[in-house]
Amino acid sequence: MKKRIKLKGRIKTYIQFCIYLGILLVVIDIAVFLIDFRAGLLLLGFTVFYLIITLSLYFCNKPILMNELISFATQYGQIQKKLLREMDLPYALLDDDGRVIWTNLAFEEVVHQPKGYSKSITSLFPAVTRDRLPDDKGVDEAQYELEYEGSEYVAKFRKISLREMAENSDIIDAADYNGYLIAVYLYDETALHIAVQEVDDQSLAVGMVYLDNYEEALESVEEVRRSLLIALIDRKVNKYISGYDGICKKLEKDKYLVILRKKAIAQLQESRFDLLEDVKTVNIGNEMAVTISIGVGLDGLTYAQNYEFARNAIDLALGRGGDQAVIKTPESVTYYGGKSQQVEKNTRVKARVKAHALREIITSKDLVLVMGHRMPDVDSFGAAVGIYRIAQTLGRKAHIVLNDVTPAITPMVDLFRGSADYEEDMIITNQTAIEAANGNCVLVVVDVNKPSITECPDLLRFCKSVVVLDHHRAGTETIENATLSYVEPYASSACEMVSEILQYTYDNIKIRAEEADCMYSGIMIDTNNFMTKTGVRTFEAAAFLRRNGADVTRVRKLFREDALEYKARADAVSQAEIYKQCFAISICTADELPSPTVIGAQAANELLNIRGIKASFVLTDYQGKIYISARSIDEVNVQIIMERMGGGGHMSTAACQMEGVGIIEAIGVLKRTIDSMLESEEIG
C-alpha cells in the first residue's frame, strides 16, 4: 500500500492557521448574536465568505505547496548529496548487515573501487567483521585502527536510526520507519603516525658502559703498554658510539656515559650490540680479553628517569656477570649477550666491606631470621647455617626458616635436630617466623634473589631490614629495598660467599665441625666436586672450612645414594636424545623417589661428560609441574635459555619450572626455544 506523505510540526500549523482563525470568527459571531442580532448577521456573512475563500485556498493550494516543498527538499538533498559525494573525508553508508550501499569519491579513491560497490565492508577491511560493527543491542559507535595498502587509518562507525531521522524531519511521519544505517568515516593518520614515530625516534636515551675486568686486564699486560691498551679501548668505544651519532663521555677510568637517539638504540638491538664482541678483539699482548657491560634507559618521562633506568640496567648487567647489554624501559627489561664466563675477582675487599656492614646490621638487631629458597638444596641450607653461626657469635638470637625438609638436605638437618649443642628452635616453620618477625628483626636471604621463590615470600613484607647474599645472576625480579645486597655471580656457591664473610665478621671466629661440613657440602655440590665454576677463592674457602673441622670423608658419606636413585639417574642418561648434534635432552622418571628433581640435576651433569655435548637438559614431572635442569660447560649460556622459558640461574647451571603443560609439550617448547635462539645467534 502506498503511503501518503503527511505534514507535521510548524509547517503543518502554519498551513492550518487560517482554518483555526475561521473557527475563532464563528465563536465571536455567536457572541455578537447574543449582544446584537443585526450585527451578528453582518458578521456571519463575513465569516461565511472568509471560510469559503480559506477552505478553497487550503484544498486547492495544498498540493501546489506540497510540490514546492518536495521540490525544495529535493534540490536541497541534491546539494547535500553533492557535498557528501565530493567531501575530502572518505565516507560511506552501510546497511545493518555491513554491506556497502553508498560511497563518496574520497572513499572510492582509498579502496580503489568504482561507484556502486555493494559488497561487505569485511571484503575491504578483513579486520572489520560484522560482530565488530554497531548493532541494535546498544552498541551505537565503534572505532578501530586499520592499515590499508601501506596507509594507516582510524575508522569510525556510527549507527544512524531511520526512525530518529524521520522524527527530526518537519515533513514526514516516522511511525512506519524502522531499521538503521551505519556511517563509516576514514581518517588518514599515516602522516601523523610518521611524525609521532619520528619524534619518538629522536627522543634521547641514556646509556652507561662499564669495563668489567679493567684491573685484571691491565695486570695481564706489560706496564709500558697499559696506556696503549686503555687508549685502544677508549677509541673503540668512542668510535662505535659516534658511528650512531651519539655522545660518549668518559666518567672514570672504566666508566662511560653515553647519549643516543632512540632510533640508534633500535639499530644497536638489530646488531645485538656487537660492541660486546668488538671490544674483545683489542689485544696488545694482554692475556685476558676485555669485556664490557652496557646499560640503557629508554622511554622514561624525563631525562632523569632515563638515567635512573640506565643505572638500574647497568646494575643488572653487572649482577648477571657482565659482558652483556641490558635495556630497561618502564614496561620491560631486555638482555643481550652474556656469552662469556664470569671473571673471578681475586681481591677480597668487597667481601670484607660487606662482612663489616653485615656485622653492623646484625648487632643493631635483637633477632636474626635466615631463609633460602623453596625446596632448599645443600648450598642454601649450608649458607643459612653459616649466617646462624655469625649471629650466635655476635650474641644474637637466630632462627633458620625451613618449612619442608627435602630429602636432599635431610642428612644435614639431622646433624642439628636433637643435638644438645643447638637450641630446639634453631629451625622454625614459615608461620612461626612470621609471628616472630618484628621491627627489631633482620631477615637474611641466602642463595636466592627472586622474592617469589624464597622459602617464605610473605616474610619479606614483615621484616623492614633485609639482607641478600646470593651467587645467582640477577634477573628482572629482585628483592627490592634491601638494606644490604651482596650478589656475586662469579662465586661458585652461597656457601663460598658466607665462608669468606665468616672470616671478616669476627676475629678468630670458631665454627663447629658439623657447620663446616654443611658449608663444605654446599661448595662441593654446587661445583660438582670442584669441576664447575671453581676459582682460586673457591679453594681458599674450602681450605678455611677444612681447617675448621670439615671432613671430606664424612661429607662423602652424608651424600651417598641408594640403588634406586643411582638407577634412575643412569636411566635418564641412557635415554637422552641428542638434538642438533650438541644438545642432550632427557626425561627423569623417578616418581617413586623423594627428590626426583635432584636426580634430574645430577643426570644433567652426567650428560655433559658425553663428547660433543654443549648443553644438557633433563625434564622431571613432579607435583604437577615440569622441572627443567639445564647444564653446560663453557660454550652455551643455559641461563638465557632458561630465562626465555621463565627461569634463570647461571651461565653453566640454570633451571625453570613450567605449569599447565605435559612432559612432551615441554620438550617441544624447549626445542623451539633452542631453535629460535640459534637462529638469532643468541647462543652458539
- State the SS3 of 435-493: HHCCCCEEEEEECCCCHHHECCCCHHHHCCEEEEEECCCCCCCCCCCCCEEEECCCCCC
Alpha helices in 552-636 (DSSP H): 552-558, 563-574, 596-607
324-328 and 465-470: which strand pairing? unpaired
Q: What percent of the chain has pLDDT over 70?
A: 90
In a domain, 419, yes or no: yes
Q: Are residues 244 and 320 in the same domain?
A: yes
Q: Are residues 93 and 81 in the same domain?
A: no
In a domain, 288, yes or no: yes
- Three cell numbers at 295? 646499560
pLDDT score of 431 more than 80: yes
Predicted local confidence at residue 2, as pLDDT: 45
Q: Are residues 599 and 620 in the same domain?
A: yes
Predicted local confidence at residue 3, as pLDDT: 47
Predicted local confidence at residue 327, as pLDDT: 92
In a domain, 2, yes or no: no
Q: Are residues 241 and 96 in the same domain?
A: no
In a domain, 3, yes or no: no
C-alpha separations of 522 from 444, 535, 571 in Å: 17, 15, 26
Rounded mean pLDDT, 622-627? 88
pLDDT class of 166 with cuts at 50, 70, 90: low
CATH number reported for the structural domain that contains residue 672 in this entry: 3.10.310.30
Collapsing DSSP states into helix, strand and coil, what is residue 318?
Answer: helix
pLDDT score of 1 more than 50: no
pLDDT score of 384 more than 60: yes
Domain residue limits at 68? 9-85
The structural domain count of the chain equals 5
pLDDT score of 258 more than 90: yes
Quickly count: other Cβ atoms within 10 Å of residue 322's Cβ: 24
Of 77, 85, 88, 87, whose CA–CA distance to 115 is shortest? 85
Q: Are residues 132 and 247 in the same domain?
A: no
204-211 and 180-188: which strand pairing? unpaired
pTM of the entire predicted model: 0.59
In a domain, 236, yes or no: yes
- Three cell numbers at 579? 638434538
Predicted local confidence at residue 284, as pLDDT: 84
Confirm if 155 and 146 have CB atoms less than 8 A apart: yes
Rounded mean pLDDT, 67-91? 73
Of 148, 117, 149, 136, whose CA–CA distance to 179 is shortest? 136
The DSSP secondary-structure symbol of 408 reads T
Q: Are residues 76 and 94 in the same domain?
A: no
Q: Are residues 355 and 493 in the same domain?
A: yes
* Pairwise CA distance, residues 657 & 98, whole Å: 48
Place of cell 587509518: 153
CATH number reported for the structural domain that contains residue 317 in this entry: 3.30.70.270
- The per-residue pLDDT for range 338-376, each reduced to its tens digit, is 665 555 555 567 788 888 889 999 999 999 999 999 888
Radius of gyration (C-alpha) of the chain in whole angstroms: 41
Predicted local confidence at residue 74, as pLDDT: 65
Predicted local confidence at residue 100, as pLDDT: 86
Predicted local confidence at residue 340, as pLDDT: 58
* Pairwise CA distance, residues 656 & 649, whole Å: 9
59 vs 526, residue with greater confidence? 526
pLDDT score of 210 more than 70: yes
Confirm if 448 and 424 have CB atoms less than 8 A apart: no
- The per-residue pLDDT for range 322-335, each reduced to its tens digit, is 888 999 998 888 88
pLDDT class of 117 with cuts at 50, 70, 90: confident
Residues in contact with 155: Cβ distance below 8 Å, sequence separation at least 6, in sequence order? 125, 128, 143, 144, 145, 146, 184, 185, 186, 187
pLDDT score of 592 more than 80: no
Rounded mean pLDDT, 115-140? 82
Quickly count: other Cβ atoms within 10 Å of residue 249's Cβ: 11
* Pairwise CA distance, residues 526 & 649, whole Å: 12
Rounded mean pLDDT, 446-458? 90
> Which secondary structure element, helix H or strand E, spans residue 108, and what is its range?
helix 105-111
Predicted local confidence at residue 5, as pLDDT: 53
- The per-residue pLDDT for range 663-682, each reduced to its tens digit, is 999 999 999 999 999 988 88
In a domain, 1, yes or no: no
* Pairwise CA distance, residues 20 & 339, whole Å: 97
- The per-residue pLDDT for range 402-428, each reduced to its tens digit, is 988 888 888 889 889 878 888 888 999
Q: Are residues 22 and 60 in the same domain?
A: yes
* Pairwise CA distance, residues 115 & 30, whole Å: 66
pLDDT class of 146 with cuts at 50, 70, 90: confident
Domain-ending residue, one of 316, 337, 358? 337
Confirm if 251 and 231 have CB atoms less than 8 A apart: no
pLDDT score of 245 more than 80: yes
In a domain, 4, yes or no: no
pLDDT class of 259 with cuts at 50, 70, 90: very high
Predicted local confidence at residue 445, as pLDDT: 94
Q: Are residues 218 and 309 in the same domain?
A: yes
Q: Are residues 538 and 404 in the same domain?
A: yes
CATH number reported for the structural domain that contains residue 367 in this entry: 3.90.1640.10
Domain-ending residue, one of 160, 195, 230? 195
Domain-ending residue, one of 85, 119, 149? 85
What single string gives the DSSP state of each residue in 539-555?
HHHHHHHHHTT--HHHH
pLDDT score of 604 more than 90: yes
Question: What's the whole-number average pLDDT of the chain?
Answer: 84
Q: Are residues 506 and 628 in the same domain?
A: no
In a domain, 252, yes or no: yes
Rounded mean pLDDT, 12-38? 77
- Three cell numbers at 17? 492557521
pLDDT score of 251 more than 70: yes
Q: What percent of the chain has pLDDT over 90?
A: 29
Q: What is the 3-state secondary structure (H, E, C) of 155-179?
A: EEEEEEEHHHHHHCCCCCCCCCCCC
C-alpha separations of 14 from 7, 21, 56 in Å: 11, 11, 16
CATH number reported for the structural domain that contains residue 129 in this entry: 3.30.450.20
Q: Are residues 252 and 385 in the same domain?
A: no
Predicted local confidence at residue 339, as pLDDT: 62
